[in-house]
Amino acid sequence: IIARDCSERLVGRRLESRADIHAAHRQLGLIKNNNTAKGALDMALHSAYARSQGVTLASLLYPTRPRVRVSFILGTGTLDQVMDEVAWVYESGVRVLKVKVGKDFDHETEAIHLMGEVYQDRLTLYVDANQCYELDEAGRCLFELADLGVKWCEEPLPVYQLRNRRALHDHAIMPLIADDSAFTMSDLAREIEFKTFDILNLKTARTGFSESSVMLRGARAAGKGIMVGSQAGSMLGCLHALLFSAQLGVDYPTEATFYLKVNNAYPQALPITEGWIDVTQAADVLTRLEADLLP
């Protein structure tokens, strides 16, 4: 899709200003779907423009906060396997965990209960149901999860069940996160109109910097919270998410710690201190990484 459909809309275009990036983004928008391909190209265009201006990509993104609170997406497995991963992640400095739910509620709640017993208020937990619940069970499950200390739930119901998602949101059991239901700005506009969520999970790997910025402004204008995800990204993807999230309006943890599981040369250069990553360190690592990738 990049070599065939996207390239013909970009090759030969001038890239001398932010306006040129936005014009290229509009051209890519004429291609339906394929969000991650278009998002990757949008971020590459930002990087290329920064290099052409003799500045870093980090400075182009205008981070305004000195540090970013991060979260980690737990894997699934036996109770022992899950708790071993929790211990490793906690030792690595993470203090917010996303737990996958929706397959075996008893097993999932047992693990969440044990995490609460072991770590108490030293860990913040939220869940991702990946659209696995139906309306009649979602309320019961969310009430039980809330009793266990879970803070937020991502996509509890299938996206197509718009009225049911509105009804569940109206119950206000816990704040709901939009992810699969808000892939694009047009999706987000629909979700805002139907009042289905409280927090938007933006993913720069999916909507690049350009559309993510538009969506951030739209969600903020509607009074919604913002978090940023990295879609299980590499170190490069995590850095993009981190630096994008270091701006006004992103007020929930950033899912940008998957690099801990990737064997590369940089994890020790980007430490997590009591749940936070220093933005200056992240910018430095990105500059080094880009220099290695694009000598």
H-run or E-run covering 144 = helix 135-147
Pairing verdict, β 176-178 and 276-278: unpaired
At residue 265, the pLDDT reads 64
Intra-chain end-to-end CA distance of the chain, in Å: 26
pTM: 0.94
Distance CA 55, CA 239 (A): 17
Residue 58: in which H helix or E strand, if any?
A: helix 57-60
How far is it between the farthest Cα atoms of the chain? Answer: 59
| Tokens linked to 63 | 């981070």
Query: What local confidence, expressed as pLDDT, does residue 266 receive?
Result: 62
Query: Which pLDDT score, from 0 to 100, does residue 292 have?
Result: 86
Q: What residues contact residue 71 under an 8 Å CB cut-off, 6+ apart?
A: 94, 96, 97, 98, 124, 126, 253, 254, 255, 257
Cβ-contact 228, 241 below 8 angstroms: yes
- What confidence score (pLDDT) does residue 293 get? 85
Q: Considering only the top CATH level, what class is 63-293?
A: alpha beta
- Other Cβ atoms closer than 10 A to 256: 29
**Tokens coding 220:** 């903020």
The DSSP code for 26 is: H
**In the prediction, which pLDDT does 223 show?**
98
Sign (positive/negative) of CA torsion 85, 87, 91, 97? positive
Q: Which of 132, 138, 96, 99 has the alpha carbon at shortest distance from 245?
A: 96
Separation of CA 281 from chain center: 20
Torsion of CA 242, 243, 247, 249, to 10 degrees: -30
pLDDT tens sequence for the chain (295 residues): 888 889 889 999 899 999 999 999 999 999 999 999 999 999 999 999 999 999 999 999 989 999 999 999 999 999 999 999 999 999 999 999 999 999 999 999 999 999 999 999 999 999 999 999 999 999 999 999 999 999 999 999 999 999 999 999 999 999 999 999 999 999 999 999 999 999 999 999 999 999 999 999 999 999 999 999 988 888 999 999 999 999 999 999 999 999 998 866 665 789 999 999 999 999 999 998 998 888 7
Please state the domain extents for the chain. Answer: 2-59, 63-293
Question: Whose structure tokens read 């309006």?
Answer: 249
| Burial (CB count within 10 angstroms: exposed 0-12, middle 13-18, buried 19+), residue 150 | buried
